[in-house]
C-alpha cells in the first residue's frame, strides 16, 4: 500500500508533544479532584450519616436520603469532569494529529455524518432508517480532495426498544479520481455465498441487465456489482482497483461495501469498534497516543492514498 | 388433459423466455461494440492535436508521427470491417505507446502544459477503451453461453445465432515488454 506522502508518527510526535503534556497534566489534576470527591462521599457515608442520627436525632430514612443526595451531587460533578476531560483529550489529540495530515480538516468528536449524505451512496439500506448516531466526524480537504468520515450507527425505528440495527461501522465519502456519470454499487454477495450457482442465476434474473460480471473470480465470490453503465463500471473497477477492495475487505471481518455516484466514492466498513477508543485511566504516553489516536487516523488517510483518491486524473481537472 | 396443457404451457414459456433472452444478449453485444467504437473515436479525435504538439518539439520522431497519422486514417477507412479495424487500432495503440516512451527524450516537450494534458487524456481514453473491451467480452461470454447451453441452444439454432469471437490482444502484445528495446526505438 502506498503511504509515501503520509506523515510518520515520528513527524507527528514533535507536533503534538506539548498538547499531550498539557492534557496529561489535566488528567492528573482530574484524578486528584476525583479522589477528593470520592473521599467526600466516603466521609458522608461513614461519618456524617451516623453523626446525623446520633447528634441531630435524624431518623434513618432521612439520614440515608441526605447521604444519597450529597453523594449523587458529588458523583455528578465527577462524571461531568470525566466527560469533559475525555472530550478535551479526543478533540485535542485528534485535531493536533489531523493538522499534520492537512490543515483544512475539521473534527467533531460527538457528531456523525448526515443520513442524507449516506443515502446518496445507496450502499446501506439507510433510506428506510430514521435514527442515525455516531461520532468522530472528520470533514474537509486532504490534498485538494473533499472527504467526509465518521463512525456510524444506523437504526430503523424511533423507539429504542423496537429499533432494528441497519449498519454499525465506519463510513468514508471522498471524490473519486475518475470522471463518471453512472451509479455503480459493490455489495457483499450473500446470495451467491449461500446459494452458489442458483444465487448467481437469481441475481442475473432480477438485475435486468444491471448486474456486472467481472473477470476476477475471487472478487465475484465476495461481492456482487450492479451498475447503470457496464463500461463505466469496468472503467472504475479496474483489475488493480478490485485487488485493493479485496485487501480492504480482508481487514474487516464483517465486510465492506462501496458505491460510486456523482463523482464520489462511498465506502462502508462494518465493525463494532469505534474509531477512537480512550478511557480516562490511561496516561497519555506516546505509545498510547500512537495506538489509540495516530494509528486509527493514519488508516483513514492510508485508505485514500491506497485508492489514489488524492490523485486527480486529467479528465477530472 | 390438464397435465398436457400444463406441460405445453411450460414449454411455450420456456421458448418465449429463451427467445427474448437471446435477443437481449445479442443486443447487448451490439451495444458493447458501440461503446468500443465511441472510445476509439475519442482517441482518433485526440491524435491530430497530439501529433501537432509533438511535431513542434520532436523533429526526430517525424517517421513515428507519420505512422500514427496514417494508421489513424486507415482505421477510419476500415470502419465497416470489424476485424480489419481492430487490427488497425491495435497497431495504432502500439505506435502511440512507443511515441509516449520516446517523448521522454524531449524535456521541453514534457514540460509543455498542452502536451501533458493530452498525454493524461490519452491515458484515460486508453483506460476507457480497455473497459469497453472488457464489457464487450463479458457480453460475448453471456451470448455464447446462451447459444451453447440447453435449452436455449435449440432456439438459437432455429434463429441461426452462432457464437462470436471475443476481443483478443495480438500475439506481439502478449509478450513481456522489453523496456530497453522501447528506448532504443
Direct distance between the N- and C-terminal alpha carbons of chain B, in angstroms, rounded to an integer: 79
Q: Which residues of A touch B (CB under 8 A)?
A: 178, 209, 212-215, 230-235, 238, 313-315
Helices B2-57, B62-77: axis angle to 10 degrees equals 150
The set of cell numbers assigned to A253 is 471481518
CB-based contact A314 B124, cutoff 8 Å:
yes
- Who contacts B116 (Cβ-Cβ below 8 Å, separation ≥6)? A314, B110
Chain B residues touching residue A315 (CB < 8 angstroms): 120-121, 124
CB-based contact A209 B28, cutoff 8 Å:
yes
Most distant CA pair in chain A: distance in Å?
88
d(C-alpha A27, C-alpha A36), whole Å: 14
Query: For residue A92, how many other CB atoms are within 10 A of its CB?
Result: 19
Rg of chain A (C-alpha set): 26
Chain B residues touching residue A238 (CB < 8 angstroms): 127, 130-131
- pLDDT tens across A185-231, in order? 999 887 666 666 666 666 666 666 688 999 899 999 899 999 999 99
d(C-alpha A205, C-alpha A185), whole Å: 17
Q: Answer whether A40's CB lies under 8 Å from A120's CB.
A: no
Helix (H, G, I), strand (E, B) or coil at A113: coil
d(C-alpha A196, C-alpha A177), whole Å: 34
Q: From A177, which residue of chain B is nearest by alpha-carbon distance?
A: B124
With CA atoms as reference, report the closest residue to A126 among A148, A150, A152, A108: A152
Q: Answer whether B70's CB lies under 8 Å from B108's CB.
A: no
CB-based contact A231 B120, cutoff 8 Å:
no
- pLDDT tens across B79-110, in order? 888 778 888 888 888 888 888 888 888 888 88
CB-based contact B28 A232, cutoff 8 Å:
no
- pLDDT tens across A59-97, in order? 777 777 777 777 777 777 777 777 888 888 889 999 999
Most confident by average pLDDT, A34-48, A163-177, A272-286: A163-177
CA angle A93, A94, A99 (to 5 degrees): 100
The set of cell numbers assigned to A234 is 469496468
| H-run or E-run covering A303 | helix A295-306
* Residue B137 clears pLDDT 90, i.e. is over it: yes
Full-prediction pTM beyond 0.90? Answer: no
* Residue A46 clears pLDDT 50, i.e. is over it: yes
CB-based contact A238 B124, cutoff 8 Å:
no
With CA atoms as reference, report the closest residue to A167 among A272, A260, A296, A297: A272
- pLDDT tens across B19-71, in order? 999 999 999 999 998 999 899 889 989 888 888 888 888 777 888 888 898 99
d(C-alpha A312, C-alpha B167), whole Å: 30
Amino acid at each position: 500500500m502506498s503511504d509515501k506522502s503520509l506523515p510518520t508518527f515520528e513527524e507527528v510526535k514533535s507536533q503534538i508533544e506539548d498538547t499531550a503534556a498539557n492534557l496529561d497534566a489535566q488528567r492528573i489534576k482530574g484524578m486528584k479532584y476525583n479522589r477528593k470527591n470520592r473521599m467526600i462521599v466516603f466521609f458522608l457515608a461513614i461519618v456524617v450519616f451516623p453523626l446525623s442520627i446520633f447528634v441531630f436525632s435524624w431518623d434513618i430514612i432521612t439520614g440515608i436520603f441526605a447521604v444519597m443526595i450529597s453523594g449523587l451531587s458529588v458523583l455528578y460533578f465527577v462524571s461531568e469532569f470525566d466527560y469533559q476531560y475525555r472530550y478535551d483529550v479526543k478533540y485535542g489529540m485528534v485535531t493536533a494529529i489531523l493538522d499534520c495530515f492537512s490543515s483544512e480538516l475539521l473534527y467533531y468528536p460527538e457528531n456523525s455524518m448526515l443520513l442524507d449524505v449516506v443515502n446518496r451512496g445507496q450502499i446501506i439500506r439507510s433510506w428506510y432508517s430514521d435514527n442515525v448516531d455516531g461520532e468522530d466526524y472528520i470533514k474537509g480537504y486532504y490534498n485538494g480532495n473533499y472527504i467526509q468520515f465518521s463512525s456510524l450507527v444506523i437504526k430503523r425505528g424511533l423507539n429504542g426498544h423496537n429499533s432494528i440495527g441497519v449498519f454499525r461501522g465506519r463510513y468514508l465519502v471522498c471524490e473519486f479520481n475518475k470522471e463518471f456519470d453512472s451509479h455503480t454499487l459493490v455489495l457483499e454477495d450473500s446470495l451467491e455465498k449461500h446459494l452458489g450457482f442458483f444465487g448467481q442465476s437469481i441475481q442475473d434474473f432480477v438485475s435486468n441487465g444491471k448486474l456486472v460480471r467481472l473477470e476476477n473470480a475471487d472478487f465475484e465470490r465476495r461481492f456482487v456489482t450492479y451498475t447503470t453503465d457496464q463500461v463505466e463500471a469496468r472503467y472504475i473497477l479496474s483489475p488493480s482497483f478490485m485487488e485493493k477492495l479485496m485487501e480492504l475487505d480482508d481487514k474487516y471481518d464483517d465486510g465492506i461495501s462501496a458505491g460510486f455516484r456523482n463523482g464520489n466514492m462511498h465506502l462502508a466498513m462494518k465493525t463494532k469498534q469505534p474509531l477512537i477508543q480512550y478511557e480516562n485511566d490511561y496516561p497519555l504516553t506516546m505509545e498510547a497516543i500512537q495506538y489509540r489516536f495516530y494509528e486509527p487516523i493514519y488508516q483513514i488517510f492510508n485508505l485514500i492514498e491506497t485508492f489514489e483518491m488524492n490523485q486527480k486524473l486529467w479528465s477530472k481537472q | 388433459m390438464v397435465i398436457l396443457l400444463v406441460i405445453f404451457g411450460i414449454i411455450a414459456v420456456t421458448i418465449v423466455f429463451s427467445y427474448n433472452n437471446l435477443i437481449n444478449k445479442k443486443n447487448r453485444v451490439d451495444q458493447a461494440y458501440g461503446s468500443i467504437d465511441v472510445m476509439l473515436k475519442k482517441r482518433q479525435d485526440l491524435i491530430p492535436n497530439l501529433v501537432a504538439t509533438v511535431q513542434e518539439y520532436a523533429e526526430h520522431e517525424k517517421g513515428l508521427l507519420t505512422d500514427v497519422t496514417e494508421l489513424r486514417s486507415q482505421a477510419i477507412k476500415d470502419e465497416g470491417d470489424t476485424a480489419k479495424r481492430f487490427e488497425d487500432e491495435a497497431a495504432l495503440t502500439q505506435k502511440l505507446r512507443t511515441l509516449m516512451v520516446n517523448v521522454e527524450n524531449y524535456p521541453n516537450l514534457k514540460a509543455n502544459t498542452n502536451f501533458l494534458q493530452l498525454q493524461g487524456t490519452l491515458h484515460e481514453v486508453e483506460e476507457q477503451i480497455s473497459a469497453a473491451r472488457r464489457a464487450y467480452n463479458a457480453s460475448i461470454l453471456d451470448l455464447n453461453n446462451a447459444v451453447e447451453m440447453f435449452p436455449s441452444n435449440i432456439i438459437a439454432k432455429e434463429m441461426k445465432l452462432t457464437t462470436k469471437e471475443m476481443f483478443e490482444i495480438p500475439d506481439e502484445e502478449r509478450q513481456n515488454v522489453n523496456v530497453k528495446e522501447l528506448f532504443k526505438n
